[in-house]
Structure 1
Amino acid sequence: MSSLAAGTAIAALMLAGCAVAETRAVEGAAPALTSQAAVAAPVAHASVAKGPFVSAANPLAVEAGMKVLARGGSAVDAAVAIQAVLGLVEPQSSGLGGGAFMMVYDAESGAITVYDGRETAPAAATPELFYENGRPLSFVDALLSGRSTGAPGVIPMLALAQKQHGALAWSELFGDAEALAQDGFTVSPRLAGMINGDAPQAKTRWATEYFTKPDGARYQAGDTLRNPAYAETVRRIAREGAAALQQGPLAEAIVAAVTEGGRPGALTTADLAGYRPLVREAVCGPYKIYTVCVPPPPSSGTSVLELLAMAERTPDIDKGPDSPEAWAAFGQLQRLMYADRDRYFGDPAFVSVPVAGLLDPAYVAQRAALAPGLRGAAPYGVPAGAPRVGADATREPAGTSHMVVVDAKGDAVSMTTTVESLFGSGRMAGGFFLNNQLTDFSFEPLARDGTPAANAVAAGKRPRSSMSPTLILDREGRLVGLLGSPGGSSILAYNAKALIGALAWGLPLQQAFDLPNLVAKGDGFGADTEGFPDAVRDGMAARGVELRPNTTETSGLHGGLWRNGRWDGAADSRREGVARTQ
């Protein structure tokens, strides 16, 4: 298909420059931090795109969100209800013990607010957190240990966002989650596959106790699973807010689970009580006739904008989904994007991330020019403002979810949420799994020459994240789309594929989501190989892009585009989600 935007000027969307964006902590947290961001100016008139609209990874969660919207709830209200249900019915991906990034769009003003609910390392954490006997632990040993769990951020983040954007009482948002936990829910095929799969987190004593029926067999698809402990937890959260998790019996239970065993974590009740979500400014960039907005670091969303900016300078991309030239170019641009991301991204409170430099048109053009002749792993670039940092040794496993919500006013949420790996660390408290988010840090804090990694562990630091919830605006700053995906580091490739498929190739959003995935990081090209026609695969190979089966977590895209006066909603067919309007 031809591009929606072929030959269309985008000057009206060009950003005036990089502003210094305030990063605001809340309610007695540490002094405010600053990070650089390029932000689109808000508009003074309402968006035309209105809900109710929800797309999320499980029909029960979507139903809970739609009920909240039907009662007059806001998009953030619905997101709270959706998360509470997802943590129960899709615990392999996200939950009360995890973290998230949330983008909130205000339809009346056009303002975008980013909420950072990324977990933090304990005050006692050191750069050698995952070392033992002078060497880094294996990844499995690290994630199963108590050391892998950071202070959970998703509930404090949602509590803050709901306080600022909610229409209903907080206490009214957990009814579906409580009832499903108390009365039981039907185990889905995806959850059953994880319960009975090979992930070591599904075999811990906590998971085994939870997922084993009285007859000694493990739960299967179609079985009814009850979780009275989870029901009690959400009742507490409904009554007490985020304080229910940050202090008192639940906080003590979290610390007890983290400190159990031979490799205990250093997380304390003081770490939990001291956690604060952050309010940040969005980073926005032009693509075709649109503006695409993502969270700033420690999210890696800026990398998606870098790839889209390079794509604008790569004519082959616009040849469409049947073109081997387009797919080969997409893969090579990914290699360049990931090389930059892996080198520079980390918590902006601890390392200077060169956001402005990475998006500078001259730097983007320089990087894009490398793509046609690129062979093997791409070198990282040196954008303006780049600090001297070392090579990265971070691994990002599977286990994340995404949701989008639009309410009757047109206010919207795009939120990516996670416990990191499948079932997090495999440890539980209060009926929910604890995250293993600290394994998103580089296990090796120093390069061979002694240069520190941008994503090295430090006390109170937030690990780098690939989570990149996305908003799409028109040339007047009005919301016209929102999307995101799980997938570990492949999130960046999945979001970029969807944006290119929908905005450049003009595909209906479901078709854009269902395009075969291509993930090009380092010296390989992982792909849904059977999804590419033979002619496309052969054409890509002739251009040096040899496809191998994708070994990373598959996509789980959820989103919507406002087209022809209605939501073109979509949910990735690779998972169990649905998209619903009224």
Structure 2
Amino acid sequence: MKTRHLLLGLLLLPGLLAAKVTSSSRPHQYAVASAHYLATDAGLEILTRGGNAFDAAVAVSATLSVVEPISSGLGGGGFFLLHEAKSGHDRFIDARETAPASATPDKYLDATGALNRDRATNGPWSAGIPGLPAGLVHLADHYGRLPLAVSLDPAIRIARDGFPVYARLANGYMARREVMERYSGTRGVFLVDGTPPAEGEVLRQPDLARTLTLLAEKGHDGFYKGEVAAKLLAGVKAEGGEWSAQELSAYRIRERRPIRFEYDGWQIVTAPPPSSGGIALAQMLQMLEPWDLKALTQAQRTHLVTEAMRRAFRDRTFYLGDPDFVKVPQRTLVSPEYAAGLRATIHPGKATPSDMLSGSQTPLEDEDTTHFSIIDAEGNRVAGTQTVNLLFGSGLIPPGTGVLLNNEMDDFALKSGTPNAFGVMGYEANAPQPGKRMLSSMTPTFMESKDRVAVLGTPGGSRIITMVLLGALAYADGLDAQSVAALPRYHHQWMPDALSTERNALPADVAAALRAMGHTLNTPEDAPDGRRSSDAWGNLQTVSWDKSGNLLSTGSDPRNPVGSGKVIEVKSKVKP
């Protein structure tokens, strides 16, 4: 598979930064890769202050919440996949947002009975109860080594003192300006001098610093009760929304058992429902395993991978939802036998039209999600993916909080069979109910073979799942971390029935061969159906540990000029 190698300008070249160490029993070094250099530095700061990977995850997550409001924040949610080196246990922290009791499907319909897109994606009705603050508290209380206040210190400092606005943040604001400027609290953060944030200006967020400080001092109650909660409730109510103090204070994370399966000599550990990504990843990789993909032409390989994508996304549509509310047939869906049945329906030389797969049941985040990957000196690791859903979420900041609320309600099937902002559909399994968690595409993932460990994930809406698939296949092919982060990307999600690609992801002869097999392509170069695929997708952040050579390395997506991956040596001996 063709790879792309791009430089990161003035930033550290993440994939080239790797350092030799002396023992393969544990790395004796730290590796952090995230979508912003300040977040990477925050994680490394906490590690050098005596924290472990889980403390560093708190620091990276909270700092991303400050410097990437376009992507994630305290007003959103996330998933944290953890590996404890000492016990060997893997754990999954579900800090996904939940539906308010007021958010019944009828509230999202217009006078004609059609889905009200504005209400589903903008303002108070689009927002679920935030989960990320509870996730940070849980990480610190149950897995970290340092007090929460220490791990949150870098984020508080950066919120208070400010950071330079980068191009993506400034351009994203302009893209969402009309919605952002509807709300007084949002104007108070982004229009302090009366003009939108411009690249190079310093953005300070004193209200967010105050909210983070209260979280640091009081833990869960610092956000979900008291001063911050009162301001959140007042801000939502002022804009016509209906949250209650009881459902806000009652929010709790869920610890879930990760999905685990094997692929080509690798143990894969990944996200369970309410993520749809882990089940889909297990299905796709197990469908593909019998084929020697490296021996195939690029067109043949792309065809087979696309057909696996198509089938996994069909199952996503009908079966998946919050396991606390619906029965998800997980054991069946991730079994090798079920994958074999799906594989048997794949023609090796012809595309399967999506409408030929059953459209009835039988017996997802934008580019503006964010991901980080961490391995510490003891071998603990974290894959964290967090989001506010679309660009700047709902656009609403309740005054006095600095907290930009998510618009994750659009990830529910608000109207059965109607596609959401990413074009993916859902039915009863993903319909909103009070306290229910909306289906997600976030797919934080670990891979481990006898001589290598990888941690990876990415933003990208419904394309998260297929980007992680392509990354996993690349690691299995033997690529290094930076090459994995730079890979060209393509995607199929069953409906609409089109193979979408980044610009120049497929050579012209490969695209022609795929069309000859019956695939409809949607590319930036040629979109025959009038739709346009964006030029670049995702923001993959990955770290890798070569156990045989005892080498840590990082991969930070070259599509994102402010991303950063770093490896540093531990100067003193690490205690077990």
TM-score normalised per structure 2? 0.85
| 1:70 aligns with one of 30, 43, 48 | 48
Provide structure 2 residue ranges, at least 5 long, that are not aligned to the other structure.
3-23, 419-425, 524-531, 569-576
Matches of 2:115 and 2:230, distance apart in 1: 27
8 Å Cα contact 2:115/2:415 also seen in 1: no
2:466 to 493, 499, 506: 493
1:399 and 2:368 aligned: yes
**Offset from partner CA, 1:343-364 (integer Å, 9 cap, x none):** 1110111111111111222221
- For the residue of structure 1 that corresponds to 2:430, the secondary structure is coil
Distance 2:188 2:59 in 1: 26
Q: Distance in 1 between matches of 2:294 and 2:205?
A: 50
- SS of 1:459's partner is coil
Match of 1:128 among 102, 106, 119: 106
1:566 to 2:555 alignment: no
Q: How does 1:249-288 map to 2 (within 5 A)?
A: 249-261=227-239, 264-288=240-264
Q: What is the match of residue 435 of structure 1?
A: 406
1:517 aligns with 2:493: no
- 1:219-274 per-residue CA deviation (whole Å, 9 max, x = no partner) reads 2111111111111111111111121110011111112222233xx33221111100
| Aligned-pair CA distance for 1:60 | 0.5
Instruction: Confirm or deny that 1:179 pairs with 2:157.
Output: yes
Q: Which amino acid aligns with 2:265?
A: I
Shift of 1:370: 2.1
Please give the alpha-carbon distance, in whole angstroms, between the structure 1 residues aligned to 2:49 and 2:295: 45
CA distance in 2, matches of 1:79, 1:396: 20
Question: Does residue 330 of structure 1 match 2:313?
Answer: no
- Counterpart residue number, 2:453: 480
One-letter code aligned to 1:508: D
Question: For residues 421 and 201 of structure 1, do their structure 2 counterparts lie closer, same or farther at Cα, with a shift above 3 Å needed?
Answer: farther
- Is the CA contact 2:374–2:543 (under 8 Å) kept in the aligned structure 1? no
SS of 1:530's equivalent in the other structure is: coil
Report the CA distance shift for 1:246/1:484 in structure 2 as closer, same or farther (over 3 A): same
Question: Which stretch shows the higher mean deviation, 362-371 or 221-230?
Answer: 362-371
Distance 2:70 2:212 in 1: 18
Q: Confirm or deny: 8 A CA contact 1:283 1:295 kept in the other structure.
A: yes
From the superposition, tell whether residues 179 and 145 of structure 1 become closer, same or farther in structure 2 (CA, over 3 Å). Answer: closer
TM-aligned CA distance change 1:150 to 1:331, over 3 Å: same
Partner of 2:353: 376
Q: Which residue of 1 aligns with 2:321?
A: 346
The yes-or-no answer on 1:408 pairing with 2:387 is no
Match of 1:108 in 2: 86
Change (3 A) 1:175 1:252: same
Aligned residue for 1:468?
443
Match 2:70 to one of 82, 92, 97: 92
For residue 106 of structure 1, report the CA deviation from its aligned partner. Answer: 0.7
- Alpha-carbon spacing, 1:160–1:379, altered in 2? closer, same or farther (3 Å): farther
- Alpha-carbon distance between aligned partners in 1 of 2:192 and 2:232, rounded to the nearest angstrom: 24
Asked if the contact 1:201–1:423 (Cα under 8 Å) also holds between the matched residues in 2, the reply is no
Give percent identity, aligned residues only: 31
Q: CA deviation at 1:428?
A: 0.7
Letter in 2 for 1:570: G
Quick check: 1:508 aligned with 2:480?
A: yes
**2:533 alignment partner in structure 1:** 551
Q: CA deviation at 1:160?
A: 1.2
Distance in 2, matches of 1:307 and 1:48, equals: 31
Alpha-carbon distance between aligned partners in 1 of 2:461 and 2:177, rounded to the nearest angstrom: 16
Unmatched tracts of structure 1, length 5 or more:
3-45, 389-394
Q: Shift of residue 62 of structure 1?
A: 0.5
8 Å CA contact 2:447, 2:455 repeated in 1: yes
The residue number in structure 2 matching 1:32 is none
Judging changes above 3 Å, is the alpha-carbon distance between structure 1 residues 47 and 307 closer, same or farther for their aligned structure 2 residues? farther
Instruction: Give the whole-Å Cα distance in 2 for the aligned partners of 1:539 and 1:235.
Output: 57
Residue 571 of structure 2 corresponds to none
Superposition RMSD in Å = 2.4
Give the alignment partner of residue 271 of structure 2, picking from 271, 286, 295.
295
The CA deviation at 1:548 is: 1.6
Q: Give the AA of the match of 2:63.
A: V
Task: Answer yes or no: is the 8 Å Cα contact 2:94–2:253 preserved in 1.
Answer: yes
- The CA distance in 2 between the partners of 1:381 and 1:474, in whole Å, is 36
Please state how far the C-alpha of 1:218 moved relative to its aligned partner.
Answer: 1.7
**TM-score normalised by structure 1 residue count:** 0.84
The answer on whether the counterparts of 1:52 and 1:66 sit within 8 Å (CA) in structure 2 is yes
